[in-house]
Amino acid sequence: MSDVIGKALSLWGFDGAGCRLIAARENKVYRVDRDGAAYALRLHRPGYCSEAELRSELQWMAAADAGGIHVPSPVPSADGKLLHTIDGVAVDVLSWLGGTPLGKTGTPLAVADRLGLFRAIGREMARLHAVSDAWALPDGFIRRRWDRDGLLGEAPVWDRFWDNPTLSPEDRALFLHLRVVAAADLKAREGALDYGLIHADLVRENIILDAGRVQLIDFDDSGFGFRLFDIATTLLRNRPEPDFEALKTALLDGYRSQRDLDLDALDLFLALRAATYVGWIISRMREDGSVARNARFVTTARDLAEAYLSKGEASS
């Protein structure tokens, strides 16, 4: 992989620059320091996104940056291209955003002015959606779709959660029931639900705080989807907080201070978002910590599925 990094540094005119690994999650991200400036060199996981999808992601990030959203902006290589494939690995470079992540999933949230911060996150999320709606998509733009098929179809974006091999018979039956009921619910609501480009992964690690400024990174899972899916993603990872209901209210108030959003289906999207992680973990069962993560994902999805389904039964 060092050959790929060396070739990438040369393509971007960064020969001799300092380079160190910062993150190795879905992609490998390196910090490059050159002439007093910092950049993020990304080596994309082969097979996850096509080159057309990656170019589209970069185009959207550039549009969000131009619209005043605090996101990394694509940096063209010496020949003006935003994306190169080097020895089979797709590579790009982004501007570096200073600051620190909101927190780490699974650990207590340690920030000052928690409610003010969540209002700010809601506002920034709404601004991203508004800027995206105002942007004219370029020819050839393509990203994944977190629509009804992408969540509940035969080949979901993040695998078939109801087929997770660790499920008990009871949990499998529950998730199959969730799939049927949620699909019918989504079909009935689709014309009324707010749908467009979404980040799709606004978890704590992807929200960077810098002197009170909320910045959004890691658009790897972005695409077309329901705006409530973005809301649900952020809320889901903060459910263990003792003041979760207050944080939830603050996030929603912040969002709705910028644009309208019908919240009637929020319980549906909380259940769906939780279920996607039960599918996501299927291909990662051999990774360190996967047993504990899988158990946590299943428990969370079970709780939210039961809450959503019982609410529907009570109203029928």
47 and 87 housed in the same domain? yes
pLDDT at 46 over 70: yes
Q: How many domains would you assign to the chain?
A: 2
Last residue of one domain, picked from the residues 96, 119, 149: 96
Q: What's the rounded mean pLDDT across residues 230-250?
A: 97
Give the per-residue pLDDT at 313: 64
The whole domain housing 92 covers 2-96
Last residue of one domain, picked from the residues 96, 124, 155: 96
181 and 281 housed in the same domain? yes
Query: Residues with Cβ < 8 Å from 79, sequence gap 6 or more?
Result: 11
181 and 263 housed in the same domain? yes
Give the per-residue pLDDT at 316: 54
61 and 9 housed in the same domain? yes
Cβ atoms 207, 215 nearer than 8 A: yes
pLDDT in tens, 97-112: 999 999 998 899 999 8
261 and 127 housed in the same domain? yes
CATH of the domain at 240: 3.90.1200.10
Give the per-residue pLDDT at 223: 98
DSSP reduced 3-state for 17: coil
Q: Which residue has the tokens 């999808």?
A: 53
84 and 184 housed in the same domain? no
CATH of the domain at 64: 3.30.200.20
Q: What's the rounded mean pLDDT across residues 244-265?
A: 97
Q: Average per-residue pLDDT in the chain? A: 95
116 and 232 housed in the same domain? yes
Q: What's the rounded mean pLDDT across residues 169-196?
A: 97
pLDDT at 240 over 80: yes
121 and 261 housed in the same domain? yes
Q: Cα–Cα distance between 278 and 280 in angstroms, integer?
A: 6
Last residue of one domain, picked from the residues 67, 96, 125: 96
Residue 30 structure tokens: 């390196």
DSSP bridge pairs for 30: 21, 41
286 and 309 housed in the same domain? yes
213 and 130 housed in the same domain? yes
pLDDT in tens, 125-176: 999 999 999 999 999 999 999 999 999 999 999 999 999 999 999 999 999 9
241 and 137 housed in the same domain? yes
Give the per-residue pLDDT at 314: 64
